[in-house]
Amino acid sequence: MVSSPPKSPGVLEAAVYVTDLDATEAFYSGLLGLEVITRVEGRHVFFRCGESVILTFIASATQIPPAPDARLPVPPHGATGPGHVCIASDAQTLEDWETYLKDNDVEIEADFTWPVGARSIYLRDPAGNSVEIADRGLWRRG
Task: Output the pLDDT for position 66.
Answer: 87
Residue 86, sorted as left (phi over 0), alpha (psi -120 to 50) or beta, turns out to be beta
Task: Output the pLDDT for position 142.
Answer: 61
Asked whether the predicted pLDDT for residue 113 surpasses 90, the reply is: yes
Asked whether the predicted pLDDT for residue 2 surpasses 90, the reply is: no
Helix/strand/coil for 5: coil
Per-position b or e across 52-85, b if 16+ CB within 10 A of its CB? bbbbbbbbeebeeeeeeeeeeeeeeeeeeeebeb
| Mean pLDDT in residue range 47-70 | 93
Confidence class for position 3, pLDDT limits 50, 70, 90: confident
Instruction: Express as a percent the part of the chain with pLDDT over 70.
Output: 98
Strands 130-135 and 119-124: antiparallel
Task: Output the pLDDT for position 5.
Answer: 78
Asked whether the predicted pLDDT for residue 119 surpasses 90, the reply is: yes
Q: What is the mean pLDDT of the chain?
A: 93
Structural domains of the chain, ranges and CATH numbers in brackets? 13-65+80-139 (3.10.180.10)
pLDDT tens digit sequence for 75-91 = 989 888 899 999 999 99
